[in-house]
Structure 1
Amino acid sequence: MPLAVYILGLTIFSVATSEFMIAGMMPSLTAAFNVSITKVGYLISIYAASMVIGGPILTAILIKMRIPHKRALLSLIVIYTLGQSVGAMSNSYGLMVIARIITGVAASACIGVALAICSNIAKPESRGRAAAVVVSGLMFATMLGLPIATVVGQQFGWRASFWLVVALTALCGIISSVMLPASSKPEEANLAAELDDFKNIHLWAAYATSGLVLGATFAAFSYFSPILTEITGIASNRLPLLFSLYGIAALLGNIIVGRLADKYMLPITTAGLLVLLAALTLFALFTQNPIISITAMMLIGLVGISMNPVLIIRVMRNSRAGPLVNTVHTSVINIGLAVGSWLGGLAISSGYGLRAPLWVGAMLAVLGIISLLPYFSYKINSPKTCYTKCE
C-alpha cells in the first residue's frame, strides 16, 4: 500500500475530528456563547448540511477550473485550516456558524478529492484496501479524535481543541505537499466528463444502497443510549465502554471489508446487509436481554459503517472515480445518516416505543438488500468487471 494512502487517511482523520468534537464540548460552548444546548447541537447539523450541499458545489468549481487533484486537495486543506482558525477565535455564535459552514464544505470536498487520489495511486486490485485505509480516518476520528478533543477542551478550554485540529490539519497539508504524487494533469480534470457519470443508472443504484446501509445503521445507533439504559437495564456509566467496543468492532469490520471488497464486492455487500438485518431484528426482539443486546450492538458495529470500503468500490466501478462522484457519495452517506436518525426519532415520537428505531433500521436494511437484487445476474467479483455489460 503506497505511503500516500495513509497520509490521505490522516488528513480525513483531521477534518472528521472537527465534525464530531462539538459533541464533547457542548457545556463549554453553551457558556461561552450564552446559548441553549440545542443551538450548540445545531452546530453539528450545520456542519453536516454544509457537507451535503456545499461540498459537491465546491468540488464542481475546482473541476471546472481544471485544478489537478493534488493542488485541489492542498487548497481545500488551506480553506479548512482557515475555517477552523475562525472557529477557534470565535467570540459569538454567529461567527462559529460561519466557521462550521466553511469547514463542512471544505471537509466534504476534501474527502471526495482524497478518494479520487486514492483511486489513482492504488492498483485496481487494491482499491478496496486503499479506500478502507482512507475512510478509517472517519472511524479513528470517533474513537480517538473525539475523546482527545474532549479531554483537551476540559483541561485547556474549548479553543485549545480547535487549535489542536488546526495544527494537525496544517501538518497534514505540509506532509501532503511533499509526499503525495501529482495524481492528475490539469487537462484531466473535466467537469463535463464527470457530470456524464451521473447519467449512469447503476451509479445511482450504488448511491441508493450506500444511503440505505448508513440509514439502517444510524436509525439504531442514534438511540443506543436510551434503548440500553431504559429497556436493557444497563447502567449509564457502562455506556462509554460499550461505545468503545462498538468502535473497535467497526474498525475491525472496516479492515476485513477493505481486504475482501475488491474481489468479493457483491457477496460482501449482501452478507453485510443480511448480518445487519439479523442483528437489528435480534436486538429489537430481545432488547431486555443484555447478552443478546450487546452482541447485536457489536454486530451492527461490525457490518454497519464499516461497509464504507465496499460501497466506495461499487461507486468507483460505476464511474470514472473522480472527485465529484466521490463528494456526492459522501453527501449521500450523510443524507442516509440524517434520514435514518430522523425516521428513528419519528417512530419514537409517534408512540411506537424505544424499540421502534431498531425496526426502522431493519426495514431500511431490507430495502438495501432489495436494491442489490437486480445485480445478482452480473458477474462482478473481479475488479475488471462492472455492473453494466462491459464492452
Structure 2
Amino acid sequence: MPATVYLLGLCIFAMATSEFMVAGMMPSLAAALGVGLPAVGNLVSAFAASVVLGGPALTWLLRAARRKHSLIGLLLLFLAGQVLGAQAGDYQQMLWSRLICGVAQSAFFGVALALAAELVGEHRVARAAALVLNGLMLASVAGLPLAAWVDQHWGWRLSFWLVAMMVALAAAGIAALTPSGSAPRALSLGEEGRRLARGSLWAAYLSSGLIIGAVFAAFTYLAPLFTQISGFDATTLPWLFAGYGLATVAGNLCSGRWADRHTRRVLRVGLLTLLAALVALALLAQWRAAAAACVLLLGLAGLPMNPAMVARVVRTGGSGPMVNSLHMSVVNLGLMLGSWGGGALLDAGWSLRAPVWLGAALAALALASLGLDRAGHSWQVTGNSAGLPR
C-alpha cells in the first residue's frame, strides 16, 4: 500500500475522534457552555446532519480539483472548525465548529476513497478502504477514550487542540507525500446524474444504510442494557467496549483482505452473523457470558462490513468522490435513524431489549436488500465493465 493510504487513515482517525469525543465530554461541555446535556447531544446530531447534507454539495464544488489539492483544502477547513471549537466561548460557536467539521469530513471521505482507488486500482479498493476506514475504528477504541481522559485531567479544550495538531500534521504529510496527479475530468450535472441514477447503486446504498442502522440501533443503548439487564457493574463497561473495539479493528482488517474478490460473500456472511448476534443478545442478555460473547460478534461482523460495502458501491457506481461522499451520507443517515429508532422505542415504554430487536429487523432487511440489484445481472459473473471480479 502506498504511504498516502496510511496517511488517509490517520486523517480519518483524527476526524472521527473529533466527531466521537463530544459524547465523551458532555458534562464538561455542558458546564463550560452553560447548556444542558440534551443541547450537547444535539452537537453530535448536528455533526452527523452536516455530513449527510453538506458533504455532497462541497464534493460537487471540488469535482474538477486535483485530489491532492482537495484533500489539503478539506483538512485546512476541518482544522479551522476544530480551532473554532477549541476557542468556543458559547454554544453557537461550538455549533458552528461541529457543522464546519462535519461538512469537511464528509467531502474528505469521498475524495480520500477516490484517491485510494486511483493509487491502488479498483481490484484492491476494499483492502485500501479497510486501511483508511481503520482510522474510524481506532477512533472509537483509542481516540474517544484518550480524549475523555485528557478532558478529565487537563480540560476539554486541550482535547480539541490535540486533534487540531494531528490534523495539521496529517495535512503536512499529504502535502509532502501525495503525488499531485492530473486534474479529473469534471462531469456535467447530467453525466453525474446518470451515474448516480443507477438502480444497482441505490440498492448498494440501501444495504449500507440498513447495515449501519442495524449496528447503531443496538450499539447506542448497549451501556444501559449491560448494567440494567445483564447485571454488569459500571466499572466493567470500558473493558466491554474495548473488547468490542478491538474485535471491530480485527474484523475490518480481515474483511479488507477478502472483500475485493468475495464482496457478496463477505456481506452475506457478515449480515447472517450480525443478525444471529443481535437475536442472541436480545434473547440472552440476562446472562453476562452470553452478552459479552454477543458484543464481540457484533464487533467482528458489524462495522467491519464497511470495506465490502465500499467495494460494492465502487464497482457499481465508480470510484468518483461524489459516489463515495453520497455513500458516507447514506451511512450517517442510517446511523442517525437507527439510534433515533431505538430511542423512540424506549420513549414509547418498550424495554432495553427493543433497540436490539430493531437492529435485528434492520439486519434482516439488509440481508434481503442484497438481491435488489440482481435485476439484469448477477454479482456472480466473472467480471464487470472494468474486467474486475465481483
| TM-score for the superposition, normalised by structure 1 | 0.95
Aligned to 1:329: 327
The 3 A distance-change label for structure 1 pair 374 and 106 is closer
Q: CA deviation at 1:348?
A: 2.0
Aligned to 1:25: 25
Task: After superposition, give the CA deviation of every residue in 1:250-299 in whole Å (9 maximum; x if it has no partner).
Answer: 11110111000001010110111011111111111111111111111110
- Structure 2 Cα separation of the partners of residues 239 and 171 of structure 1: 33
Q: Letter of the 2:186 partner, please give it.
A: A
SS at match of 1:351: coil
Equivalent residue runs for 1:57-68 within 5 Å: 57-63=57-63, 66-68=64-66
Aligned to 1:169: 167
Aligned to 1:83: 81
Equivalent residue runs for 1:16-55 within 5 Å: 16-55=16-55
Aligned to 2:356: 358
Does the 8 Å CA contact 1:262/1:383 hold for their aligned counterparts?
Answer: no
- Structure 2 Cα separation of the partners of residues 330 and 76 of structure 1: 16
Aligned to 1:70: 68
Q: CA deviation at 1:320?
A: 2.2
- Structure 2 Cα separation of the partners of residues 128 and 227 of structure 1: 34
Aligned to 2:226: 228
SS at match of 1:213: helix
Equivalent residue runs for 1:77-226 within 5 Å: 77-183=75-181, 185-192=182-189, 193-226=191-224
Does the 8 Å CA contact 2:203/2:373 hold for their aligned counterparts?
Answer: no
- Structure 1 Cα separation of the partners of residues 14 and 382 of structure 2: 30
Q: Letter of the 1:142 partner, please give it.
A: S
The 3 A distance-change label for structure 1 pair 245 and 53 is same
- Structure 1 Cα separation of the partners of residues 279 and 202 of structure 2: 28
Does the 8 Å CA contact 1:209/1:371 hold for their aligned counterparts?
Answer: yes
**Worse-superposed segment, 347-356 or 87-96:** 347-356
Q: CA deviation at 1:368?
A: 0.5
Structure 1: runs of 5+ lacking an equivalent: none
**Worse-superposed segment, 267-276 or 121-130:** 121-130
Aligned to 2:256: 258
Q: Letter of the 1:385 partner, please give it.
A: N
Task: After superposition, give the CA deviation of every residue in 1:109-145 in whole Å (9 maximum; x if it has no partner).
Answer: 1111111101100133211110000011111111111
Does the 8 Å CA contact 2:256/2:308 hold for their aligned counterparts?
Answer: yes
Question: What number of residue pairs does the alignment pair up?
Answer: 386
Aligned to 1:4: 4
Aligned to 2:337: 339
- Structure 1 Cα separation of the partners of residues 292 and 39 of structure 2: 32
Q: Letter of the 1:53 partner, please give it.
A: L
The 3 A distance-change label for structure 1 pair 318 and 95 is same
Q: CA deviation at 1:383?
A: 8.2
Q: Letter of the 2:384 partner, please give it.
A: T
Q: Displaced runs of 4+ in structure 1, greater than 6 A? A: none
The 3 A distance-change label for structure 1 pair 173 and 384 is farther
| TM-score for the superposition, normalised by structure 2 | 0.95
Structure 2: runs of 5+ lacking an equivalent: none
The 3 A distance-change label for structure 1 pair 376 and 59 is closer
- Structure 1 Cα separation of the partners of residues 259 and 381 of structure 2: 10
Task: After superposition, give the CA deviation of every residue in 1:358-383 in whole Å (9 maximum; x if it has no partner).
Answer: 11111111101110124568553678
- Structure 1 Cα separation of the partners of residues 124 and 380 of structure 2: 13
CA-atom RMSD, angstroms?
1.9
- Structure 2 Cα separation of the partners of residues 262 and 194 of structure 1: 25
